[in-house]
Structure 1
């Protein structure tokens, strides 16, 4: 049978076209896979409050390019209170939040599907700020004193237990209910003999005008975790790898900053929020104060960020006794250590940037 040269040429052209089309699709698929592997994971982060010392590791990590190094594209927004941050993150508006973790546990008991993924300030940071020369060393010394507090804040449900540690009741003191914004002014002006608030935050702010010290809740049986990271169950499931890198980077930066690099942390906050006109001395003292609240006996030998089930179990009992939990919550429901990469934490804690 004679060979049709023209037909062979046409067949060759068709095979060549198919070959190149297939090759082009293969290249496109390869590029897509490469892009998905290298594209940074985006995370939206909501902080607890306007800029203060507690935000040092976030801004330090950003300044040093550590989020980028670990393939993260992170947006960091300030907040207006831990309770608001818990609600906003719990509603899915952000991927991860930084707030006091006791309100997070309370929200969990009310049905909000949130869980702590790292603990940074693991001792209860609430305390009574009093003048350094007032001779007030314990709740027993508060008889007849005026104490400023904020109704609706986390300190309010525990005032009776705090006073009871000194064998006092509300009838033995004068409680002044003021807004959170007015508390510092009320105390510094001398209108109150003491004020209940976050010790690391409040103490450096007021001491410049009224040298002060603190009587801490945690020393009188009122111990529960304070600041850390949390996310919804959905975010933990769908962005687990990104959240693990993020939580580990922040934990490692905290460990580095608290190990004698407080000034670097303070300067990172100022650089990130220049419009806030922050005082570096106040920021540094806030960071230094945080160190005393960062670990418990159960976590003192653990990598930074790791939480203890025993701490959470006792904390949940205290919160329940304060009438703050709508339903019983177990420790494993409110926290996980699965999102802390110990190697990343150790490397960054050692300054391996």
Structure 2
């Protein structure tokens, strides 16, 4: 069975696809001049995790669903969470851990699709260093960004070793360069994202936060409650298309997705090999034990309960919240998964 087939998540895919196709044709013919507009804010400049979004643009999947989507590059998940929470964008693509923290600070945001459901955050160390634990980092220079996702988790991750680690706080845009030039011995970031970027100059491997009790969800889609009330049906179509595009990408269309990213950002110095490597390296992070039999994008309360516990222990969020405060699966219609393959 292909990766695509395993992720349809519906028993009567033919009927569902036919029903969906009919509804989309009706929408296209009846509202061709009034497509629903959605403003999307990304977490950063285009990278491998944006593959299904740009592919949907190129394949016309958004247009077919009567959506007019504008895509703005970001400069960090934390800022994207704040902007979407403030209503400046209809939907965001960012680390859902940053979204959870934004929610705890009063932002009316909620995750509508979780893609990286196994934590991808960690410390990148030289591949030949042999460093595998926090204790191995004692006496080493470790670059991080206080205002980024990792900032609130520095204390719980390093624990008693923190005073023995030389932590270098650098701007997010300069963090990777600090590692590649050797100014820092290691760097904290999303491991699958960074590995291909440093591979040619300073190959690395990762020490993951999750291995030390910090189960933090990675990239996904989220929106504010006011926007869901205002544009719920349109956001549901968008979320369903992006979630449904991932199985298509993984079923042998990785290079097609890479070309879609490059084509949509012709002025950026994007390396197709890096983009492809990011897609491949992220694949193992799409499922946890709780979600291994569920379609991509669907989230599970058990995973969020673990995240809440980790964040409460780290005193990043207040006690008393519950998983459903942070996520909903109501904005993924798996019927779109079958339609995308057409």
**Fold agreement, TM-score > 0.5:** yes
- In the superposition, relative to structure 1, how do residues 277 and 37 fare at CA in structure 2: closer, same or farther (>3 Å)? closer
Q: How many residues are paired up?
A: 314
Q: Partners in 2 of 1:135 and 1:327 — Cα distance?
A: 38
**What corresponds to 1:237 in structure 2?**
229
- In the superposition, relative to structure 1, how do residues 224 and 181 fare at CA in structure 2: closer, same or farther (>3 Å)? same
**What corresponds to 2:26 in structure 1?**
none
- CA-based RMSD of the aligned residues comes to 1.7
Verify: 1:63 aligned to 2:55, yes or no. no
Any conservation in 1 of the 2:121–2:216 contact (CA below 8 Å)?
A: no
Any conservation in 1 of the 2:135–2:161 contact (CA below 8 Å)?
A: no
Q: Partners in 2 of 1:245 and 1:328 — Cα distance?
A: 32
Runs of at least 4 residues of structure 1 off by over 4 A? 34-38
Any conservation in 2 of the 1:101–1:226 contact (CA below 8 Å)?
A: yes
Verify: 1:226 aligned to 2:221, yes or no. no
**What corresponds to 1:321 in structure 2?**
313
Alignment partner for residue 287 of structure 2, among 273, 295, 305?
295
- Deviations 1:111-141 (Å, cap 9, x if unpaired)? 2111111111112211111111111122232
Secondary structure, counterpart of 1:325 in structure 2: coil
**What corresponds to 2:209 in structure 1?**
217
Secondary structure, counterpart of 1:303 in structure 2: coil
Verify: 1:94 aligned to 2:86, yes or no. no
Matches within 5 A, 1:1-353: 35=30, 39-164=34-159, 168-326=160-318, 328-348=320-340, 352-353=341-342
Bigger Rg over Cα: 1
Unaligned runs of 5+ in 1: 1-33
Q: Partners in 2 of 1:178 and 1:152 — Cα distance?
A: 9
Secondary structure, counterpart of 1:276 in structure 2: coil
Aligned-pair distance for 1:163? 2.8
Query: Structure 1 length as normaliser, TM-score?
Result: 0.85
Q: Partners in 2 of 1:215 and 1:346 — Cα distance?
A: 37
**What corresponds to 2:13 in structure 1?**
none
- In the superposition, relative to structure 1, how do residues 220 and 261 fare at CA in structure 2: closer, same or farther (>3 Å)? farther
